[in-house]
Amino acid sequence: MPQESNYWLTTVEMPASLRQQLPESADVAIIGAGFTGLSSALALAKLGVKVVVLESETIGWGASSRNGGMVLTGLKLGVNELISKYGRELTRRMYAASLETIDCVERIVKEENIDCDFARTGHLEVACKQSHFDDYARQAEVIAREFNHQLRIVPRHLLRWDGGRGQRWPQPGTLRCGTGCGRDAGRRGDF
């Protein structure tokens, strides 16, 4: 009978001894030890703020330990849709923020020496239909013009699928990034 187990949780050792007792007081209480809570706790603790992170399960219990581990550029919606919804200026700022988040992740991984195989590999978005491909090409033009960010459009005949060789998905470092962040937040404050 095949056994099912969580890939991330079975390939990572969870931090053993994080504090169980609540401190008497704290400047900031953060609820949830996912990427959002942990990175906020880390940033605040570095500024000397007394932070407590409250987690009902364990570090990275939620989406932070169950994702693809991809640190991508851009936003969920296409740029043309974003511009028509939010205008050029706000979209420009949101797009710039999406690029900054990659630097932010890289900075935290380096500064905290987190062993999570972080790498800037680029990423490939594959169009399923010609109309999607045409839309990608139009978006790439807008992104280059408006946000000064270059994307490469790869035509079908140059796209070679190697069956995933050389790809690592799901990324094994995902939970190690969370647990590493948790260890560092724990070292610096209450957890």
Residues 71-110 that bind ligand FAD (CB under 6 A): 71
Least distance to ligand FAD, CB of residue 141, Å: 25
Q: Supply 131's token pair.
A: 């109309």
Q: For tokens 């851009």, name the residue.
A: 74
Handedness of CA 159, 161, 166, 170 (dihedral sign): positive
Least distance to ligand FAD, CB of residue 171, Å: 8
Residue placing its CB nearer to ligand FAD in the complex, 36 or 84: 36
Tell whether residue 20 is a contact of ligand FAD (CB under 6 A).
no
Residue placing its CB nearer to ligand FAD in the complex, 33 or 44: 33
Tell whether residue 35 is a contact of ligand FAD (CB under 6 A).
yes
Q: What is the DSSP letter of 59?
A: T
Residue placing its CB nearer to ligand FAD in the complex, 73 or 138: 73
Please select the residue that binds ligand FAD; options are 33, 51, 108, 116, rule is CB under 6 A.
33
Residue placing its CB nearer to ligand FAD in the complex, 37 or 189: 37
Q: Residue 33: helix, strand or coil by DSSP?
A: coil
Please select the residue that binds ligand FAD; options are 27, 57, 100, 141, rule is CB under 6 A.
57
Which residue pairs, CB below 8 angstroms and at least 24 apart, start in 119-126?
A: 123/70, 123/72, 123/73, 124/154, 126/159
Binding segment for ligand FAD (CB under 6 A), chosen from 8-16, 54-62, 75-83, 159-167, is: 54-62
Q: Which residues of 54-68 are buried (b: 16+ CB within 10 A; e: fewer)?
A: ebeeebbbbebbebe
Please select the residue that binds ligand FAD; options are 28, 54, 77, 104, rule is CB under 6 A.
54
Question: Whose CA is closest to 124, among 150, 103, 153?
Answer: 153
Question: Whose CA is closest to 61, among 183, 170, 171, 175?
Answer: 175
Query: Site residues (CB under 6 A) for ligand FAD?
Result: 31-37, 54-57, 61-64, 66-71
